[in-house]
Structure 1
């Protein structure tokens, strides 16, 4: 499955270069790429959470699992309503760790594992948010004013970039020079892209696709024939439910919110789904590693 992941990453690089050289400032190109990647990889990669916990596909345990899942979503929604800035901070912090963990999905990190996940994830997340600072500030303005921190954007990105190279370089990994080169090139590309384009290319091809391939390997390990068909059947129900749910909410909100507020609402919806997903995936990846 590394072949599929490599093809995905090459596709992302090509799309990034196309945007920079040909479609620069094109909102249409950004939204097409964003929508296609989100619907084909982004949302579906989290639609198998109910099958990943041990025994999660048994009816009794599945019902308990879904209740826990919905409970986390409900609690986080209430937190968003009461303390939006705090909820945003939580989302960014757990997303950074989750992204970093997913970045090493095929590698065994031994030294300072949690710190490595967090710093590498923070590096990419900071570049995505700070490189297009004005757009990020506009999206977040209804929750928090980040414009006073604009002078700290560059030093934050540089510090996290250097730190990520350090924590990775001390690991005892095969072909570590290739991993370091990938971090450098990817960081540079993300820096050149607007926030939506940078987010969806990183999220789709460096996080969601590798995660989906790991899920595929786990859930089809004992299937001899028709693995792909079986896998699609497994991820379809909750993918469709997510598409419909998010679509309805955004459609109803479209009459009341401007584009930046719609983007913020979308990411809040993603954060609600992500909270239990990150819990499930952490357990799955930790057990897979042991």
Structure 2
């Protein structure tokens, strides 16, 4: 992953170069293209992962899992429609844990409860680091989804709180777990890189750079390794082929949302809610994948 990290840093700053040369409108279009491609693609093989995790090949097992997966997505969508505030908070919490787990999957900590808490604090801090530099835009999106004005102090105080908690985690790990000191210093450097990106770019473009380069592509590489035991060009192509159908269905669903709701004020919130809803089952699948690997 060291080679990939170097690539990610170079690509991230190339993204900043794009930010300086193109208008925000272009960045938004390009950001959505990347999210619709690599972003959605990295969760399109969840059913294949579940089959690989569960070695028992029962009759109609695939269809049972497919129905379960669809029900989770629908439930997420219903929550966003009827109780958007609770659904949004849940989405932020789940996404925070997911981001932290992806970044720190190989950390050598025996206490599982400590590890999962650390994953959450790390990932949620990244989200609030992003929110902190784009408070007005975040306030507008949250208000549109929940119909409740967001107090900006919530973003600022959450950023400071989780930043302080994360600092204590890093301090403890650096003192107690000497084997991972280099990793801790490296991750702090990455946080500085994220801060530069978030501060210098628009909200959508900042999120795109982090979500695609630092989360989605590493997740795809992990999944390929898990499914095939190696990560080369042939296995990557095999992964993309197996994910193609579910990726097309996801894009078709989003397009259908656009056709139905493009003239309504509800479209933006429904669009975001759809993306959030498909995230919930994906996080569960990846959690099981990492546990199986361990």
TM-score, structure 2 normalization? 0.85
2:254 pairs with 1:246: yes
Aligned to 2:258, the other structure's residue is in SS state helix
Structure 1: distance between partners of 2:66 and 2:237: 24
Taking the aligned partners of 2:45 and 2:130, their CA distance within structure 1 comes to 27
CA distance in 2, matches of 1:253, 1:106: 43
Unaligned runs of 5+ in 1: none
1:266–1:78: structure 2 CA closer, same or farther, 3 Å change rule?
closer
Give the distance between the partners of 2:55 and 2:9, measured in 1 at CA: 31
Mapped to 2, the partners of 1:88 and 1:157 lie a distance apart of 17
**Residues 83-130 of structure 1 deviation map (CA, whole Å, 9 limit, x = unaligned):** 111111111111111111112134344452111111111111112223
Contact map agreement 1:56 1:65 (CA 8 A) in 2? no
Give the structure 2 partner of residue 34 of structure 1. Answer: 31
Q: More helix per residue: 1 or 2?
A: 2
Q: Report the Cα distance in structure 1 between the residues aligned to 2:277 and 2:189, rounded to whole angstroms.
A: 34
Q: Deviations over 1:182-214 (max 9, x none)?
A: 122213422333221222221112211111110
Offset from partner CA, 1:4-31 (integer Å, 9 cap, x none): 4542442123213441x434xx223322
Match of 1:137 among 136, 139, 142: 139
Q: CA deviation at 1:282?
A: 0.9
8 A contact 1:50–1:56 mirrored in 2: no
Q: Which residue of 2 aligns with 1:101?
A: 101
CA distance in 2, matches of 1:252, 1:270: 16
2:273 is aligned, of 247, 268, 275, to: 268
Which range is displaced more, 210-219 or 48-57? 48-57
TM-score normalised by the chain length of structure 1: 0.87
Seen in structure 2, the aligned counterparts of structure 1 residues 216 and 248 have a Cα distance that, compared at 3 Å, is same
The CA RMSD over aligned residues, in Å, is 2.5
Any unmatched runs of 5+ in structure 2? none
Aligned to 1:22: 21
Map 1:64-143 to 2 at 5 A. 64-110=64-110, 112-142=114-144, 143=146
Deviation at 1:33, TM superposition (A): 2.9
- Give the superposition deviation at 1:220: 2.0
Change (3 A) 1:122 1:228: closer
Residue 265 of structure 1: how far off its partner (Å):
2.5
